[in-house]
Chain A
């Protein structure tokens, strides 16, 4: 089965977190721009990478009125099953691309309980009435739950996990130039 590689000059395929193309999916008060988060898209376009959007696990599971949450609050059997189902759909497409010998990268969201690739969020005590002071430390090394399930699904299929980059806007030390450089380095392999 051959699938399209019609983009003008395809260097590879970037699987991007849903919200990078649709900030409307963010938790309330989390949208950094109107729709498409251009700093990431601009780099992908400039370097000739095909774009594939992954689904937003939290939107479909908890809806638009969901609260801000840390990894522990989503670390349930039901949410893992939900992410497994989504991971199958993404792994299908990654598999097709890998069969064609295309280079793959995965671009997640650092600090996200679901889409973090190097940094997720953690607070074992969080729960109950949703109030906590601004600046509560919650970011910690690790992967989000969807990324973890995608890694497992690809492993089950004998597909190596792609190179990853993370969008860092949610982190206190976000630096757009540094993020761009890190993304370009990931794309360049």
Chain B
């Protein structure tokens, strides 16, 4: 059995940082390098019913991570995420809308140790 290598750190990430336009910031690459897991938020131009269904599933997953002390952040615009999280009783995590890879790296580096890891 190999050791479990999870980071207990997850970024709820806007689509434009997952699938950046030409010249845009590749947030996924920065998050991967920094050891963060990613939950993708729906693209801004998805029809509202489609985005709502995706966000409801995202919220269910976020609640599980939140209740187990994983560190959560939002990268980019979060759309209707606040409403979906309210349904499961979780507030929107701290957010960054980075203009550069350096800004995103600095934000991630300044995050606290996940509660799940404290005291280990």
Contacts and interface: CB of A to CB of B under 8 A. Distances in A.
B19 A34 contact: no
A33 interface: yes
Contacts of A64: 64-65, 68
Given A29-B4, A35-B37, A3 B45 contact: yes
Chain A contact residues: helix, strand, loop or mixed? loop
Chain B contact residues: helix, strand, loop or mixed? mixed
Interface stretch (A72-80, A87-95, A117-125, A148-156): A87-95
Size category of the A interface is 35 or more
Interface string B2-43: 111111111000011011111100101101101111111001
Contact of A50 (B4, B19, B46, B68): B19
Given A4-B15, A34-B36, A55 B31 contact: no
A23 B31 CA distance: 13
B109 to A, nearest CB: 14
Contacts of A24: 6-10, 37, 65, 70
A29 B7 contact: no
Interface of A: 1-4, 6-8, 18, 21-26, 28-36, 38, 41, 45, 50-53, 55-56, 59-60, 63-65, 86, 88-89, 92-93, 96, 134
